[in-house]
Amino acid sequence: MELKDKIIKNREKFEKTNGMYNIFTEELLKFLGEDFFTAPASNMKSLYNAFPGGLLDHIIKVTKYAISVNETLPTELRVDKESIIKVCFLHQIGKTFLFNFCDSEWHRNNLGKMYDFNEELISMKVGERSAYYCLKYGVVLSEEEYQSIINFDKPDDDKQSKWYGTTLSTILRISNDLSIIECKQNN
């Protein structure tokens, strides 16, 4: 599938799901604008989804995995599907303005560095920036949803996020890993 078609298809999936679950506020959608639909998920080809629209593609895959992982859990551990979809759709919106196209053809061709980091942004983890955008633009998060977004990209040695995170937080982390593995196997 051509990249342009993939972006259109993923945007349609996003708009349908967002319409069903009212995840993004109008203010958040306006703030993120078209950049959200064309943002990459990472800056290097060796990582994952370092192409226009890669972020939304990744978010959709994470959501698919999260729903599947949740369904495998015992009933008493399962999380509300709406909360899973909400957290999956919001957890990486902080990447929307994080990357600028790499102007160096040499870096793109020889290193696979497709994007540079946007040095104008204040340094934050993606989860922190995503939660900030949510709160600034009127998205109401439960304590568990907030924790999940903040913790998804913390390192494995962060014992508090690893051992004291909620089921939702764990599902999000696992689903991110599975989406990245899928992306790497398909490249």
Judge whether residue 42 has pLDDT over 90.
yes
H or E stretch at 116: strand 115-117
Can you give the residue range of the structural domain that contains 11? 3-185
Residue 43 has pLDDT above 90, yes or no: yes
The pLDDT value given to residue 1:
67
Q: Which residues 6+ apart lie within 8 Å of 26 measured at CB?
A: none
How would residue 154 be classed by pLDDT, with cut points 50, 70 and 90?
confident
Average pLDDT, whole number, for the chain?
94
Model confidence over 90-108: pLDDT tens digits? 999 999 999 999 999 999 9
User: What's the Cα-to-Cα distance from 37 to each of 7, 103, 136, 159, 176, rounded to whole Å?
Assistant: 7, 21, 20, 34, 19
- Arithmetic mean of pLDDT, 79-86: 97
- The C-alpha atoms of residue 114 and residue 31 are separated, in whole angstroms, by 24
Domain with residue 10: its CATH number is 1.10.3210
- Say how many domains are in the chain: 1
Residue 159 has pLDDT above 90, yes or no: no
Cα separations in angstroms, 5 against 11, 63, 159: 10, 20, 42
Q: Which one, of 116, 96, 118, 98, lies nearest residue 107 by Cα?
A: 116
pTM exceeds 0.75 for this model: yes
